[in-house]
Amino acid sequence: MHYTKEHEWVRVEGDTATIGISVYAQEQLGEIVFVELPDVGTQLERGSQAAVIESVKAASEIYAPVSGKVTETNGDLDAEPSKVNDDATGEGWLFKVSLSDTSELEDMLNEGDYMGYVEGLG
């Protein structure tokens, strides 16, 4: 898995990237009550707003950690946004994109580096 300093994660299988928020991010947000995901077919550019997550504390924009076309969204989150709280890096995934530039992954953090980064925040 790859991580951003904005607390998104990316899991790559072939040319498809599954994207979600880190455990640290969901802990900071608290109880998640609503998730707004991009439409399938949307072309995302790295760094552009892709989704919104609302918790009892605040609303938070999720930015695309990689560029690509949205191929699937996690429809389960419509009825159960709390899946992000329960399993942020598993069943709480947000959306999938067909990667348009795999070199963007090279700028991301690996799990160990991300954990070190998060420890330095608090």
45 φ, ψ (degrees, to nearest 5) = -105, 140
How many domains would you assign to the chain?
Answer: 1
| CA dist list (Å): 33 to 16, 36, 57, 95, 109 | 27, 10, 10, 17, 28
Where does the pLDDT of residue 83 fall: very low under 50, low under 70, confident under 90, or very high at 90 and above? Answer: very high
Q: Is residue 18 part of a domain?
A: yes
Q: What is the CATH number of the domain that holds 30?
A: 2.40.50.100
For residues 4-22, average pLDDT: 96
Q: Is residue 31 part of a domain?
A: yes
Q: Is residue 96 part of a domain?
A: yes
Q: Is residue 114 part of a domain?
A: no
pLDDT at 122 over 90: no
Q: Is residue 117 part of a domain?
A: no
Amino acid at 29: L
Q: Is residue 107 part of a domain?
A: no
pTM here? 0.95
List, for residues 15-70, the tens digit of each pLDDT value.
Answer: 999 999 999 999 999 999 999 999 999 999 999 999 999 999 999 999 999 999 99
Q: Is residue 106 part of a domain?
A: no
The C-alpha angle 73, 16, 24, rounded to 5 degrees, equals 65
The domain in which residue 14 lies consists of 2-100
For residues 93-106, average pLDDT: 96
Q: How many residues does the chain have?
A: 122
